[in-house]
Structure 1
Amino acid sequence: MRKRIGSAILASLTALQIVTVAAAAPAGGTTAQYGLGTIVKKDGTLWEWGSQGMLERSVPTQVTALQDIKASIGQFAVKKDDTVWHWAVDYRTGKSTAVQVPGMKGLTDVIHHDTAFLAVDAAGAVYRLPYREYGKLETTEIVQLSGIDNVIAMSSYFAADVKLSNREQWLFLKKDGTVLRQTQGRTDFTPVAGLNGIIALEGRYALKDDGTVWAVSDELSQSDQSPQQVKGLNDIKKLNAFTAIDGDSRLWYWGLTVTGFTDGTVYHEQTPVRIATINDVREAHVAGRSLFVLTNNGKLYETSIEVDRMPSNPSFILHAEDVDSLSDSGRLFQKTDGKLWTWGLDHASVIIPVPMQPPIALVLNGETIALTNGVVTRDSQAFVPLRSVFEKLGAKIAWDNSAKTVTLEGTNGASPLRIAIDYRSGATTLNGKTVQTQTEPFSVSGYSYLPLRFISEQLGAKVEWKQKEEQISITYK
């Protein structure tokens, strides 16, 4: 039973995409807003990474189809004029496209809804946004939902009975603190009796303005039953799927813990327990099998949730100091110097913080180049995917998959040029002569990377690194 219920709760959390107002960005760095999968820079550019259909982008890659962005929510972006845009990436070409969402001004919340998105604009109107191949929006089929308005937030969860074909449920928080409910396959919105003064939603849970937490029944046969208060959670100021922070900045754990792997994985429901070994908490989020906690003095800690029962005194590891913010997913954090960090594993499979590759723009003769995967820096050198910019510099590129070698042929002025790079041996030759390079060629997520400055300058281009803007500018005549 615990495994069935736990799976349903985890599925509802996956479907939920809550939009939060981004905190003020640190004075240092170029990042204005960040989240799992997207970055908005202070210059208004939008960047993404992660999985987009069959496309895997392992480092921040610019969405060149959009500019003048002030906020991003999943694959939706809000421009500085408050127009709302949806962007998608074609996994076959890696190119991005963007379409404006007609009728919407501003965006406060987005959740996935079957084969569509539900989106709330600044006025509180709710729109259904269907999508098709490669996540592209069907703008001609967008509709504003009738019978509902003044919405400020949404959430989703799954009914407990796995035998039901329509299990997903949606909750809508209105400006007056009341909540409406909709069941998959139906179009009507039903008021949830007993929910008043609500200030936040999390799955099937609601946070009231008096600090109490209330649960809507996940049994459809009891959908008209009054919500039940979650005992043990009081004076709560922040609520998410696994943790709560009270008015004294104390941390409470109340979600799931996990044990076992693959088919033997078991999720254990927890009654709220106050974590006494850490105080003065600002943010707390679960990522994977770890709980990450940020304190008000900028220290970031981690402990495991791989236990049957969460103890009140778990041991925490201090991972970082001078931390400005922690993402809602718990998988990213930003330090006070503006740099972004994520989590990796050392050789002993111990969690360690690692700096993210910065979002570096590549500009050729004043035009931003769209890349299939973003710029990677190693040993203070910039590397770009095989077919990204060199063909624009007049080079012909040939890739021998069996030998794992790439050959570039071009000219530098009137002189012929031939560069060959062997990805197996790491050897690089220039016009037949071996060249010593600081970093051997490498591949990332299936993309073969080449040294940008070395090849560009051999082709007669001028390369300039603009560190403050995180931009590489290439001039080529």
Structure 2
Amino acid sequence: MILKRTAMLGIVLGAALTGTAVLPAFADETSTPAGIKDFQAQSLIKADGTYWEWGGNHPAPTQVPGLNEVAASFENGLVVKEDQSVWHWEYKNATTVVVEEIPSLHQLCQVLDIGNALIALEQGGNVYTIPRNEEGKLNWNMIAAVDKLKDISAISSYYTEPQGKMMLLFLKKDGSLWSSDENLQSINPVKTAGNVKSINGNYVLLADGTVQVFPAMGNASWATVTPPTILPLKDIQLIKTNRISNAAVDGQHRLWFWGNTLTGVSDGTVLHEHKTPVMLNGIRNVKEVFLVERSLVVLTHDGKVYGTSLDGESLPANAKFSLLASDIREVAAGGRHIIMQTNTGALWGWGINKLAEQGTGDYEYMHHMPVPMQPPVTVVLNGQPVALNNGVIIRHSQAFVPIRSVFEQLGAKVDWDVNSKTVTISKSGTTAADAVTIKIQFPQGTTMVNGKASVFDTAPFNLSATSYLPLRFISESLGAKVEWIKEDNRIAITN
């Protein structure tokens, strides 16, 4: 089986795990996000119930305006508020966010995107579908309950071999398993070797700690339907799969691997199948396991994060695991990166960051060492929160904000000259002597205030077609007062 991959991917991830990376100390106090209630691979909820996301055009955590009292978040812009109501949000353009309640849903606990629709599961066990139209937009007016599915506790999906057909598995609260294709036209009970504890992809963890597998693309070509295939594993507590590679943790906190390792890059990527699970004796005391691109990453019970590369023809039992971070209490994994939370509450990123997946305020392709994430900073002007189209970026203890996010609200006029790449911020006064004109020329960041040069430890900068300006300096130059409240990562501006 051949997979398309970015040409450098296997190289950089393999290089990232050749040595030991120890979690560095914070550069400054603003690196520690205060009051994080919950976080995912590309979003977080602060203790005050505000919702923040990053990635793509947002290199730092950016608050989604209009969303408050958020308790949980899911993919495709769905969140659950503290009153268990369900809301949907999306960007209509670069600066406009539309937030609306979805009254048909309540107490959401899982969302699964199957391409032509979303499948939503409520805590009570009811299942709903939200179809997509021909343009790929979700049709919220066509939400429908799946009447044949009740008392469901979890949903998973996988693709069959060789047709590449999607199949869905539904785990009921009584431990029975049901299956359907992606159109939900035929929903039938599935024969299992016992009561089911959990499901992940095409893998079924039974209550007795054994593992049953159904035929799927790439990672189970040896599986048969009748009789059910049982892997030679016992006392398993946790299974993870990314449809290519698989891992499990047993009751003795040992790590097992089977499935595929990879060699080659781009169109030349080759999968090397390993049918028999192997216990990896280079790691112990495993609490969680994550399959991140071409890496196997684990969180141990003593708060350490280790990784080993899956880039090779095999993964031997004595595979070397490198230390990535210490003092970690929780990890959230995306397909290409991880976000780690330290015991102090700080968030750090590691892995691929090509699309700012880690919220670290940059677009470095790969972070070989853990990097502190940018804090979710709230900007308040005269007591009212300011909606930023991009989040605050902290560099060398200075807060930088997008060019038009605050200064126009301070009564200034902001102009951008595309030819000279110069931004001009001007504010008139009661007299000519009170007027202020600030000119910043990019990419050097050269700054002139009323014709006099100003020098910064960190100059204004451009990042992904957005100009970032020093918040305190410009605000105070415009006559405002700026205060940093570190307890809740808030910048208060008054004028």
- TM-score under structure 2 length normalisation: 0.84
1:384 corresponds to = 401
In 1, distance between residues paired with 2:136 and 2:440?
36
Contact 1:177/1:199 (8 A) holds in 2? yes
In 2, distance between residues paired with 1:318 and 1:133?
47
In 1, distance between residues paired with 2:182 and 2:352?
40
Residue 408 (structure 1) aligned to one of 425, 434, 442: 425
- TM-score under structure 1 length normalisation: 0.87
In 1, distance between residues paired with 2:207 and 2:121?
22
Q: How does 1:8-23 map to 2 (within 5 A)?
A: none
1:332 aligned onto 2:330: no
In 2, distance between residues paired with 1:302 and 1:200?
25
Equivalent position SS for 1:240: strand
Read off the aligned partner of 2:270 and give its amino acid letter: V
Aligned residues: 445
In 2, distance between residues paired with 1:178 and 1:152?
10
In 2, distance between residues paired with 1:137 and 1:112?
11
Alpha-carbon deviations, 1:239-292, whole Å to 9, x = none?
Answer: 111211100000111243221111111122333111101101111112122221
Contact 1:201/1:207 (8 A) holds in 2? yes
Alpha-carbon deviations, 1:194-239, whole Å to 9, x = none?
Answer: 26411211111111111111112338xx999346334232211011
1:20 corresponds to = none
Question: 1:175 Cα deviation (Å)?
Answer: 0.6
Read off the aligned partner of 1:174 and give its amino acid letter: K
1:369 aligned onto 2:374: no
Alpha-carbon deviations, 1:50-94, whole Å to 9, x = none?
Answer: 24xxxx21211101121001111222211111111122122x233
1:274 aligned onto 2:293: no
1:39 aligned onto 2:44: yes
Contact 1:412/1:458 (8 A) holds in 2? no
Read off the aligned partner of 1:264 and give its amino acid letter: G
1:169 corresponds to = 167
Question: 1:137 Cα deviation (Å)?
Answer: 4.6
In 1, distance between residues paired with 2:4 and 2:298?
26
1:19 corresponds to = none
Equivalent position SS for 2:108: coil
Read off the aligned partner of 2:438 and give its amino acid letter: I
In 2, distance between residues paired with 1:223 and 1:312?
23
Contact 1:155/1:204 (8 A) holds in 2? yes
In 2, distance between residues paired with 1:266 and 1:191?
36
Contact 2:338/2:351 (8 A) holds in 1? no
In 2, distance between residues paired with 1:135 and 1:375?
32
Q: How does 1:33-432 map to 2 (within 5 A)?
A: 33-51=38-56, 56-74=57-75, 75-90=77-92, 92-131=93-132, 137-162=138-163, 167-194=165-192, 196-218=194-216, 225-226=225-226, 228-241=228-241, 242-271=246-275, 272-329=277-334, 331-343=338-350, 351-411=368-428, 414=431, 415-432=434-451
Equivalent position SS for 1:331: strand
Contact 1:332/1:340 (8 A) holds in 2? yes
1:3 corresponds to = 2
Gapped regions of structure 1 (runs ≥ 5): 7-26
The more displaced of 323-332 and 279-288 is 323-332
Contact 1:66/1:98 (8 A) holds in 2? yes
Equivalent position SS for 1:370: coil
In 1, distance between residues paired with 2:382 and 2:159?
52
Contact 2:329/2:341 (8 A) holds in 1? yes
Counting aligned pairs with the same residue, the percent is 39
Computed over aligned residues only, the root mean square deviation of the Cα atoms, in angstroms, reads: 2.7
Equivalent position SS for 1:254: strand
Distance 1:348 1:384, change over 3 A: closer
Equivalent position SS for 2:475: helix
Question: 1:161 Cα deviation (Å)?
Answer: 2.4
Q: Which protein has greater RCO, CA pairs closer than 8 Å, 6+ apart? A: 2
The more displaced of 345-354 and 115-124 is 345-354
Read off the aligned partner of 2:99 and give its amino acid letter: A
Contact 1:29/1:337 (8 A) holds in 2? no
In 2, distance between residues paired with 1:226 and 1:432?
82
